[in-house]
């Protein structure tokens, strides 16, 4: 039975039950089907969403803004240069004031603690659009894409190759919640945080998912249904970009690595990709790539989040 998610924060997929994750996915699927059929759903007429960005964005900004408009609401873009936060106002003060003006806040920023503090002080839902620790809204769209392409989630194997970053963390959370096997391959010193792995393992025990953290990309990708990667240096790590190249070069997702996965494996990337580094043109633009479908599904996943939390 569906439960009400109205008023909840969306900080981490670990915070939701398996049933609640499926509620987001089924809502996203329904909203997408109805949009493709030319039907409108406008449950958020009169509602406003403040969107705080301290990290630049293409997909997150456009998808949340369009999602809010399509649902009948009003999105308000708030850059870090326009808020009093940059002049020293506390996150708590900002959260309390915005709670009097808005119906929800989406924030894309660096420090995960900032999102936690914002959610603690706000009396309206706070959505984590990305932090250095987690990227849960992306993974909800990823799960929707996998469901569309494979017809199921439980029992599939997803191999993530690259930096054990916010994407690796969120994929561990999401995979564990839906019974998907997740194999992470990262260089020594760049593996996912043990605390995140422990959270995911606790969920995996309930769903039967298998999780592993390796250093060998070939082993991680073996018999995978989905091969996933991300850039080797995320925003805020630009100074490390070139020094990371020799470390991560063996983790490039190219045709040779894809050949170790199942013949019908799909390739995913949260984008933007650094072509010729984390992946090759041959893979990114190849027949196994679903990255554009994946990017589109951010819109439908975000619509589901907004409709269920703010509706």
- Sign of the C-alpha dihedral computed for residues 26, 31, 34 and 39 taken in this order: positive
DSSP state of 243: H
106 and 185 housed in the same domain:
no
Q: Report yes or no: 55 and 130 within 8 Å, Cβ to Cβ.
A: yes
Same domain, 44 and 102: yes
**Which of the 8 DSSP states describes residue 215?**
S
Q: Are 310 and 104 in contact (CB under 8 A)?
A: yes
- pLDDT (0 to 100) of residue 73: 98
2 inside domain:
no
Same domain, 156 and 177: yes
Q: Does residue 66 belong to any structural domain of this protein?
A: yes
| Domain boundaries, position 147 | 138-294
Same structural domain, 108 and 150: no
Q: Is 182 helix (H, G, I), strand (E, B) or coil?
A: strand
Domain identity same for 109 and 157:
no
Q: Which residues are catalytic?
A: 108, 135, 138, 230, 270, 298
Q: Are strands 266-269 and 181-185 parallel, antiparallel or unpaired?
A: unpaired
- Residue-by-residue pLDDT tens, the chain, 311 positions: 578 999 999 999 999 999 999 999 999 999 999 999 999 999 999 999 999 999 989 999 999 999 999 999 999 999 877 777 757 889 999 999 999 999 999 999 999 999 999 999 999 999 999 999 999 999 999 999 999 999 999 999 999 999 999 999 999 999 999 999 999 999 999 999 999 999 999 999 999 999 999 999 999 999 999 999 999 987 677 778 889 999 999 999 999 999 999 999 999 999 999 999 999 999 999 999 999 999 999 999 999 999 999 99
DSSP letter string, 295-309: HHHHHHHHHHHHHHH
Sign of CA dihedral 62, 66, 68, 73: positive
6 in a structural domain:
no
Give the pLDDT of residue 49. Answer: 98
Number of domains in the chain: 2
Q: Identify whether 3 is part of a domain.
A: no
* CATH for 39: 3.40.50.1370
What's the confidence (pLDDT) of residue 205? 98
């Amino acid at each position: 039975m569906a439960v009400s998610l109205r008023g909840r924060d969306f900080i981490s997929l670990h915070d939701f039950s398996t049933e609640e994750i499926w509620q987001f996915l089924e809502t996203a699927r329904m909203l997408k089907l109805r949009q493709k059929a030319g039907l409108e759903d406008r449950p958020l007429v009169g509602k406003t969403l403040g969107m705080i960005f301290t990290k630049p964005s293409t997909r997150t900004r456009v998808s949340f803004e369009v999602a809010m408009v399509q649902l009948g609401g009003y999105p308000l873009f708030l850059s870090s240069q326009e808020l009093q936060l940059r002049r020293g106002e506390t996150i708590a003060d900002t959260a309390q004031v915005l709670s009097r003006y808005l119906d929800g806040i989406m924030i894309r920023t660096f420090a995960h603690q900032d999102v936690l503090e914002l959610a603690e002080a706000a009396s309206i839902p706070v959505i984590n659009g990305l932090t250095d620790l987690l990227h849960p809204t992306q993974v909800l769209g990823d799960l929707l894409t996998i469901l569309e392409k494979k017809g199921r989630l439980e029992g599939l194997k997803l191999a993530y190759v690259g930096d054990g970053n916010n994407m690796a963390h969120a994929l561990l959370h999401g995979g564990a919640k839906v019974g998907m096997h997740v194999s992470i391959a990262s260089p020594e010193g760049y593996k996912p945080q043990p605390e995140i792995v422990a959270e995911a393992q606790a969920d995996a025990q309930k769903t039967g998912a298998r999780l592993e953290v390796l250093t060998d990309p070939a082993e991680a990708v073996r018999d995978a249904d989905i091969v996933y990667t991300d850039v080797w240096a995320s925003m805020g790590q630009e100074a490390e970009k070139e020094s990371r190249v020799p470390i991560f070069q063996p983790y490039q997702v190219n045709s040779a690595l894809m050949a170790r996965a199942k013949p019908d494996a799909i390739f995913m990337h949260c984008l933007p990709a650094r072509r010729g580094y984390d992946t090759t043109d041959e893979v990114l633009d190849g027949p196994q790539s679903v990255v554009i479908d994946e990017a589109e599904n951010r819109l439908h996943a975000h619509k589901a989040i907004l409709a269920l939390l703010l509706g």
